[in-house]
Structure 1
Amino acid sequence: MAIKGYKNHPYIPNSVTEVQEEMLKELGLNSLEDLHAEVPEAIKLKENMNIPKAFKSEYELKRHVESLLSKNKTCKENINFLGAGCWQHYVPALCDEINSRGEFLTAYGGEPYNDHGRFQALFEYQSLVAELVDMEVVNVPTMDWPQAAATSVRMASRITDRKEVLVPKLMDREKYLIMKNYCSPDINIIEVDYDKETGLLNLEDLKDKVSEKTAAVYFENPSFLGFIETNGQEISDIAHKAGAVSVVGVDPSSLGILAPPTQYGADIICGDLQPLGIHMNYGGGQSGFMATRDEEKYVMEFPSRLFGVAPTTVEGEYGFGDVAYDRTSFGNHREHGKEYVGTQSALWGITAGVYLATMGPRGMEELGQTIIQKSKYAIKKLNEIKGIKGSLFSGFNFKEFVVDFNETGKTVKEINKELMSKGIFGGKDLSLDFPELGQSALYCVTEIHSKEDIDKLIEAIKEIISK
């Protein structure tokens, strides 16, 4: 809004008092505070913020920031057994080399500012992930797995024209809340109970809750707590019998040794690319993917970009371009898009493509075997400690497992605090998210852990619980 007689600042156009007053009058308000009238007085800050004065030079600012960063406790100087959605894997140097190139580093999800093979790089990434998950269509990545899962069930809702989704009770609480928020208010998310011994989805409860209103049944394999959902085919069959879509969330690092979800009825597969050559970045290296069969009813419900190969105007020449671009929120009018999609993590898609091309099928198989062997060793050694159950749920685990500390007389919080003093990040405390599990923690073991690392953890826990 421009006011006659005043020159608008290009970045702060409303800072002039007269301009503010004119805008408030237009809105029918008396002060800027009226814009926030709904904020309770109890949570409003009544005094000046306690922030330092501005630094006089770039050097002083840099020195101050580096001193703050030095307080961080990272996985470089500590052994890490924490996973729960962001896992420490080995990142080949080639991944960092390629994704730091200028033509890829600004790999924005919308139109490129420049393009030197980015479309082809994303096509190759999609092809490699499609081969890994045994599907035909893969999207340019979303922001993370929770968004990919939420978008997958919304796709299912549009395909079936139904408004209920069933999910496991033992899923990541943060992911559950993100899905619930993303699907609100038109899609109702219903939790399905689990078998108390195995953690597997309770099939009888699933049968009771599935109905003609069910758009999708969503489950994960491996599950959030690490166990393999061995009833995958039965779950998909129950969903299909009700006319619903089977949506499976998967950790791609497991697919070198575990059958892809298509082998047990999945219609839509989603997950996180972070295990595929992406650093944890303090929880910021997340990138969600979705995959389906090459069928129009699925392809046309993708809200994000898809790249394909098509002939150009030159005979015999082919190029890489968008598939059904008009279905996206930036390819058509915003209100006509399937969902709003803005910035996407295309750079991480390129990185995942580099990782998969580097590893190859044999490399992914060796990765999975190594993870299983090392995690099995950790569980075995934990089970040898009196008062501890190395794996709370019976059955087969991949990478993560729930350690039961209920008989130690100590809380997970206390144990983790003492582990940290010994240079070890303990597992995720599950007592708040899953109180029925008591003092239990989710531990993660990957290919980066050595026998010495695991043995150090075992000795540290022995010492802590013996006090």
Structure 2
Amino acid sequence: MGRHYLPNLAHRDEMLKEIGFNSIDELFSDVPAGMVKEFNLPEGKSEYEVFLELSEILSKNRTVLEMPSFLGAGTYFHYVPAHVKYLIERSEFLTAYTPYQPEISQGMLQALFEYQSIMAELYGLPVVNSSMYDWGTAIAEAALMTVRLHRGKRKRFLVPKALSPEKRAVIATYTRGAGLEIVEVPWDEEGNLDLEKLKEAVGEAAGVYVEMANFFGLVEENVREIGEIAHDAGAYFVVGADPTMLGLFEAPGELGADIAVGEAAYLGNPMNFGGPRAGIFAVRNDKKLIRQMPGRIIGMTRDAEGRRAFVMTLQTREQHIRRAKATSNICSNEALVAVASAIHLASLGPRGLAELGEAILKNTAYLRKRLSEVAEIPFEGLYFKDVPARFEKPYSEVHEALLERGIHGGYYVGKHFPELGETALFAATETTRKEWVDALIEALREVA
């Protein structure tokens, strides 16, 4: 460690003495053994040497045009129009951070106001915040919000078992400190949420969550009925919806949702190895709900001279108000991702969004039809984006064989849902080409 220059290294002993410690080991004594290690860093390189090394590594990557990919399960390859990237790279958007002095950030506030307005229309609920981190954290914040709305008297939150394991992990992490009990409701024979099991579990639940479509890609058939069961038990109804399907299907608000969540990054943003993202969060027009919303809400008003102006109408995060009274500890807003999604949605318009949904639905239907020729589809019903396919041999072998043939297969779910056996989710979007699907099926005929 001594051969690398670190700022103030020469003053280390002096600083340790000042704070009452004799060594670095003593300073970190409460960290579990083996967690603190010396950094075995190599000698430094010039910028050009680093450039050459990174270029060599990056050259190993293959684009989706070179290697068709059917990997989805929550992260999808969507086409982003060129003008979206151009507009969000304008300096007033690209460098904008959380507006702590909102009165001097009128442009960014207006862009976020437009985002809220578009999402409110899309999700059928009038009040939308300026976005969460992602869909998973939006679900977790909704769970915490339903408990606050019950003043902590109810601490159970029901989620479908057919939920992304990554979202489930995020929910568990977010709600552990607050002592929430997360209860999974199984699926029925058709792959939909089991209504009878829901009725048995909903008793003292603070909220009930359901997704359109569920993790297996099935478009849930009984969303309205699930909402009625939740409301009859005094629970709040939370609906998660993929925004790319809302040009074709009923909005969560029309289906009785009190709270709706989703993923804004599906529009206007590339995959980026899974991030950054922006979680959509909307509620019905009820002051009790609005006051408990996490994050921030941008509103429109008039200034002292009667001119239109944008303001932070609600800012209940801990950096704006006293920590003990904050509804959320979200420390940074995914504003750029939200603005990109708003630009993309505004460009599509209602007709374009419907056409996008139709293209995804048709491509998914074709993928399902062809997959059924070489594998078993576990559930009947309408699929959107993801399609589960069950194989007789271990999917790891199938996947490796597909990679050897220049095709990236689906997401293996047997690890998380062993009852489904050797099943993987294969995904299609508007970008999926017929010849890619045909090549996948021909490869599966050989290996599966």
Common fold by TM > 0.5:
yes
Deviation at 1:74, TM superposition (A): 3.9
* Other-structure match for 1:188: 181
Q: Is 2:371 the partner of 1:382? A: yes
Which aligned pairs between 1:119-268 and structure 2 lie closer than 5 A?
119-161=109-151, 162-185=154-177, 186-195=179-188, 197-212=189-204, 214-268=205-259
Please give the secondary structure, in 1, of the residue aligned with 2:209.
strand
Name the CA distance, whole Å, in 2 between partners of 1:48 and 1:426: 37
Deviation at 1:324, TM superposition (A): 2.7
Deviation at 1:427, TM superposition (A): 0.6
Name the CA distance, whole Å, in 2 between partners of 1:141 and 1:76: 32
8 Å contact from structure 1 (residues 412, 439) kept in 2: yes
Choose from 4, 12, 21 the match for 2:16: 21
Alignment CA distance shift 1:333-1:229 (3 Å): same
* Other-structure match for 1:399: 385
Deviation at 1:289, TM superposition (A): 1.1
Please give the secondary structure, in 2, of the residue aligned with 1:80.
coil
Alignment CA distance shift 1:48-1:147 (3 Å): closer
8 Å contact from structure 1 (residues 309, 319) kept in 2: yes
Deviation digits for residues 20-53 of structure 1, max 9, x if unmatched? 331452xxx54322344455546665x763x432
The AA in structure 2 aligned to 1:420 is L
Name the CA distance, whole Å, in 2 between partners of 1:163 and 1:17: 48
Please give the secondary structure, in 1, of the residue aligned with 2:174.
helix
* Other-structure match for 2:3: none
Choose from 47, 54, 76 the match for 1:58: 47
Q: Is 2:69 the partner of 1:80? A: yes
Q: Percent identity?
A: 38
8 Å contact from structure 1 (residues 160, 215) kept in 2: yes
8 Å contact from structure 1 (residues 24, 32) kept in 2: no
RMSD, matched Cα = 2.0
Choose from 266, 279, 285 the match for 2:270: 279
Structure 1: 5+ residue stretches without partners: 1-10
* Other-structure match for 1:301: 292
The AA in structure 2 aligned to 1:187 is L
Please give the secondary structure, in 1, of the residue aligned with 2:311.
strand
Alignment CA distance shift 1:153-1:13 (3 Å): farther
Structure 2: 5+ residue stretches without partners: 1-5
TM superposition score normalised by structure 2: 0.93
Alignment CA distance shift 1:230-1:43 (3 Å): same
The AA in structure 2 aligned to 1:347 is L
Name the CA distance, whole Å, in 1 between partners of 2:199 and 2:28: 47
Deviation digits for residues 188-247 of structure 1, max 9, x if unmatched? 11111111x2111111111111123x1100111110110011111111111111111001
The AA in structure 1 aligned to 2:76 is W
8 Å contact from structure 1 (residues 309, 318) kept in 2: yes
Name the CA distance, whole Å, in 2 between partners of 1:141 and 1:258: 22
Aligned length: 439
Please give the secondary structure, in 1, of the residue aligned with 2:282.
strand
Name the CA distance, whole Å, in 1 between partners of 2:445 and 2:50: 44
8 Å contact from structure 1 (residues 246, 266) kept in 2: yes
Please give the secondary structure, in 2, of the residue aligned with 1:424.
coil
Q: Is 2:356 the partner of 1:351? A: no
8 Å contact from structure 1 (residues 24, 30) kept in 2: no
Which 4+ stretches in 1 moved above 6 angstroms? none
Choose from 409, 429, 437 the match for 1:454: 437
